[in-house]
Amino acid sequence: MALRFTRRWGPHRIAYHLRLHRSTVGRVLARYRMPLLTHLDQATGLPVRKPKPVRYEVDRPGRLVHVDIKKQGRIPNGGGHRMLGRQAGNRNNKKRGRGYAFLHHAVDDHSRLAYSEILADERKETAAAFWRRANAFFQQAGIAVTAVMTDNGSCYRSRDFAAALGDIQHRWTKPYRPQTNGKVERFNRTLAAEWAYAATYASDEARAATYNAWLHHYNHHRPHTGIGGQTPSARVPNLTGKNI
């Protein structure tokens, strides 16, 4: 119950963490009449029923990769409100505000395998260079990317990004419909809950230093309920010694 309240984990995640059967965790949550996570407001944790989204998934790795940018406030030196309290943290941020970092993501639709970097901006040159490195990462994993989905941001409409894509098909999300890029939106929520705000950091550098380790954990060790409790790497044959 503590994991459900503090981390808002589902029964699969709790069962994996505590080494229990998923059905046991489900019965405990039902006994205490806990609402489904899809019925909770992400900001407040209060029950609010939402319509169930229509889910889709392509049939193999590389057929569609979701690309997006998450803007994230930098932690001022000495800590923000999570370390100092809201009043002192806000005062420290005003004195030592450091602007924003931009997390560039590329998430494979089928496997949920993710490549991500913390970069300084979201300019077209930055987005194009990021995709080249992301594509190299997927190629190294044995994934041939044939389509990429982005929103309609200016960096993704640029000639630089088109040149970086080359022959890869470019798909666009529907305006005001972020669920069409839902895999990377879900990655952003997981990142916020399990990395960005999961611990107290004294500086932005201290938080950034833990990112690669967390990303490795996400790809290779963290079970994903959307793919039947598997890890993303388990769905990529070349990463697990299997043959396609």
- The pLDDT assigned to 91 comes to 46
**24 and 83: one domain?**
no
- The pLDDT assigned to 1 comes to 84
**186 and 77: one domain?**
yes
> And the tokens for 194?
């399990």
**145 and 94: one domain?**
yes
Question: Which range marks the domain in which residue 12 is found?
Answer: 2-39
**12 and 106: one domain?**
no
**34 and 154: one domain?**
no
Instruction: Return the CATH number at 76.
Output: 3.30.420.10
Q: Does 52 fall in a domain? A: no
- The pLDDT assigned to 31 comes to 87
Q: Does 88 fall in a domain? A: yes
**84 and 145: one domain?**
yes
What is the dihedral angle through the alpha carbons of 36, 39, 42, 43, rounded to the nearest 10 degrees? -120
* DSSP-derived pairing of the beta strands 100-108 and 147-150: unpaired
**179 and 107: one domain?**
yes
**178 and 116: one domain?**
yes
Q: Does 136 fall in a domain? A: yes
**209 and 164: one domain?**
yes
- The tens place of each residue's pLDDT in the chain, 244 residues long, gives 888 777 778 888 889 889 999 899 989 988 888 877 666 655 555 555 555 555 678 889 999 999 999 999 888 775 544 544 444 445 445 545 568 999 999 999 999 999 999 999 999 999 999 999 999 999 999 999 999 999 999 999 999 999 999 999 999 998 766 667 788 989 999 999 899 888 888 888 999 999 999 999 999 999 998 898 899 999 997 775 544 3
- The pLDDT assigned to 87 comes to 47
Quick one: how far is CA 162 from the chain centroid?
Answer: 24
DSSP state of 47: B
Q: Does 236 fall in a domain? A: no
**167 and 107: one domain?**
yes
Measure the CA–CA gap between 9 and 20, rounded to whole angstroms: 14
- What is the tally of structural domains in the chain? 2
**186 and 137: one domain?**
yes
Measure the CA–CA gap between 131 and 136, rounded to whole angstroms: 8
**31 and 74: one domain?**
no
- The pLDDT assigned to 137 comes to 97
- Which residues contact residue 215 at a Cβ distance below 8 angstroms, ignoring those fewer than 6 apart? 114, 116
Measure the CA–CA gap between 233 and 244, rounded to whole angstroms: 13
- The pLDDT assigned to 178 comes to 62
The reported pTM is 0.73
Q: Does 45 fall in a domain? A: no
Are 209 and 126 spatial neighbours (Cβ–Cβ below 8 Å)? Answer: no
Q: Does 54 fall in a domain? A: no
Measure the CA–CA gap between 77 and 98, rounded to whole angstroms: 9
Measure the CA–CA gap between 27 and 10, rounded to whole angstroms: 12
Phi then psi dihedrals of residue 63, to 5 deg: -65, -25
Q: Does 230 fall in a domain? A: no
- The pLDDT assigned to 48 comes to 55
- The pLDDT assigned to 242 comes to 47
Q: Does 199 fall in a domain? A: yes
